[in-house]
C-alpha cells in the first residue's frame, strides 16, 4: 500500500539511566517520520531528571472504531495522521526516590482521509486540525533497579495537564491520571510484574487527544487505539521467566518467556466506569534482555476479537 520504504533507528545509552533515540523513516507513499528522544534520569549529577522529545510524522496506518467502550469492530475506518510535536520536562529529585516535575508539550495534529481500505470512511467531522499547548505537572516515586529493564522495585506517578486556548492551542480540556508499577523478584529466574493505570479528562477533548486502549502496551490482542474515550483504566500482570542466559558479543543476554493477562475499559465520566464492558486479554511474551538498557520483544495476545502479535523494543511496562 505504501510502496518501498526505508527505516533507520539509532540508540545510544550514555549511562545505565540515560538513553538517546533517533528515528528516520520514509515510504514511497504517504508515510514519513523523523523523531528524536533524550531521557536522562541522572541529569546534573543525579539531582534532576531531563526528558526532551520531538516528532514530525505522517502515518497512514491509524484506525478509528468509534468512541466509547461499546464501539464495534465493524465500524472500523482508517485515516492519515499528520503530527508535529515537541515536549520538554524537567524534574527535581528529593528524599532519594521522589521527584517533582514540570513540563510543556506542543502538538499539532491533522486528520486526513485514510489510505488503507476499511469498511467505512473516517467521519468528515473528524477531518480537522487541532493544536495543543499543554503544561504538565507530575509527582513520582521510583525505586526500580533499572528503568528500562526493571527486576525489582516500583514506580508510581500522579500527573495533571491543562489544555487551554489562552496558552496557545485550540483545545480546551483538563486531564488527570496516575499509574503504579511493581516488580517482585521471586527467585533468580522469576519476576512478577504488575501495572495499573487510570486517566480521566474534563472538557471538550478533541478526537486526536482521547484516551485509548489497544496496541503494544495495553490490551495486546487489539489494534492500537481500538477503544477511545475521555478516560481509560487498565491493569496488566506478567510473570517473567528467565529461561536462558547467553553471552552474545560480550553482552550477557537473558531470554525470557512471560505469560500475561490484562483487563481494561474506556469511559466518558470517571463516576460511571462501565465494568460490564471490561475487555480481557491473555497471552505470552518472548523477550531478549540485555541489562541495563535493551529489551527486544515479541508479544502474542488473544482477546474477544481474536489474536494479535506485536514486535518491538522495550517492555510494555
Residue identified by cell 487541532 is: 130
Q: 3-state secondary structure string, 10-22? A: EEEEEECCEEEEE
pLDDT the model gives residue 123: 86
Of 36, 31, 184, 192, whose CA–CA distance to 114 is shortest? 31
Spans of the chain below 70 pLDDT: none
Q: In the prediction, which pLDDT does 181 show?
A: 99
77-129 confidence digits (pLDDT tens): 999 999 999 999 999 999 989 999 999 999 999 999 888 888 888 888 888 89
pLDDT in the model for residue 117: 85
Q: H/E/C letters for each residue in the chain?
A: CCCCEEEEEEEEEEECCEEEEEEEEEECCCCEEEEEEEEEEEHHHHCEEEEEEEEEEEECCCEECCCCCCCCHHHCEEEEEEEEEEEEEEEEEECCCEEEEEEEEEEEEEEEECCCCCCEECCHHHCCEEEEEEEEEEEEEECCCCCCCCCCEEEEEEEEEEECHHHCCCCEEEEEEEEEEEEEECCCCEEEEEEEEEEEEEEECCHHHCEEECCCCCCCCCCCCCEEECEEEEEEEEEEEEEEEEEECCEEEEEEEEEEEEEEEEECCCCCCCHHHCEEEEEEEEEEEECCCEEEEEEEEEECCEEEEEEEECCCC
Domain that holds residue 156: 5-313
Please report the pLDDT score of residue 197 as a whole number: 98
Q: What's the CATH code of the domain at 163?
A: 2.40.160.50
Structure confidence at residue 118 (pLDDT): 86
Q: Which residue is associated with the grid cell 526532551?
A: 52
The predicted pLDDT at position 250 comes to: 82
Residue 15, pLDDT score: 84
pTM assigned to the model: 0.92
Q: Domains in the chain: how many in total? A: 1
Amino acid at each position: 500500500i505504501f510502496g518501498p520504504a526505508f527505516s533507520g533507528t539509532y540508540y545510544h545509552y550514555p549511562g545505565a539511566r540515560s538513553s538517546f533515540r533517533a528515528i528516520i523513516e520514509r515510504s514511497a507513499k504517504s508515510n514519513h517520520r523523523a523523531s528524536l528522544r533524550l531521557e536522562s534520569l541522572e541529569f546534573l549529577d543525579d539531582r534532576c531528571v531531563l526528558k526532551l522529545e520531538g516528532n514530525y510524522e505522517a502515518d497512514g496506518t491509524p484506525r478509528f472504531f468509534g468512541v466509547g467502550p461499546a464501539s464495534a469492530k465493524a465500524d472500523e475506518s482508517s485515516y492519515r495522521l499528520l503530527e508535529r510535536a515537541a515536549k520538554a520536562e524537567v524534574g527535581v529529585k528529593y528524599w532519594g526516590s521522589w521527584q517533582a516535575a514540570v513540563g510543556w508539550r506542543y502538538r499539532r495534529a491533522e486528520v486526513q482521509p485514510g489510505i488503507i481500505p476499511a469498511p467505512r470512511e473516517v467521519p468528515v467531522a473528524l477531518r480537522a486540525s487541532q493544536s495543543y499547548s499543554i503544561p504538565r505537572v507530575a509527582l513520582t516515586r521510583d525505586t526500580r533497579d533499572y528503568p528500562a529493564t526493571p527486576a525489582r522495585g516500583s514506580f508510581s506517578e500522579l500527573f495533571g495537564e491543562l489544555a487551554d486556548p489562552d496558552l496557545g492551542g485550540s483545545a480546551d480540556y483538563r486531564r488527570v491520571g496516575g499509574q503504579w508499577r511493581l516488580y517482585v523478584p521471586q527467585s533468580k529466574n522469576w519476576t512478577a510484574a504488575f501495572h495499573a493505570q487510570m486517566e480521566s479528562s474534563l472538557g471538550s477533548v478533541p478526537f486526536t487527544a482521547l484516551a485509548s486502549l489497544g496496541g503494544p502496551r495495553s490490551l495486546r490482542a487489539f489494534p492500537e487505539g481500538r477503544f477511545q474515550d475521555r478516560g481509560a483504566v487498565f491493569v496488566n500482570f506478567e510473570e517473567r521467566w528467565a529461561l536462558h542466559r547467553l553471552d552474545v558479543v560480550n553482552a550477557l543476554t537473558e531470554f525470557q518467556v512471560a505469560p500475561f493477562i490484562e483487563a481494561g475499559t474506556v469511559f466518558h465520566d470517571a463516576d460511571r466506569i462501565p465494568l460490564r464492558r471490561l475487555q480481557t486479554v491473555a497471552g505470552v511474551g518472548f523477550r531478549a534482555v540485555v541489562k541495563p538498557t535493551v529489551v527486544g520483544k515479541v508479544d502474542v495476545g488473544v482477546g474477544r476479537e481474536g489474536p494479535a502479535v506485536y514486535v518491538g523494543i522495550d517492555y510494555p511496562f
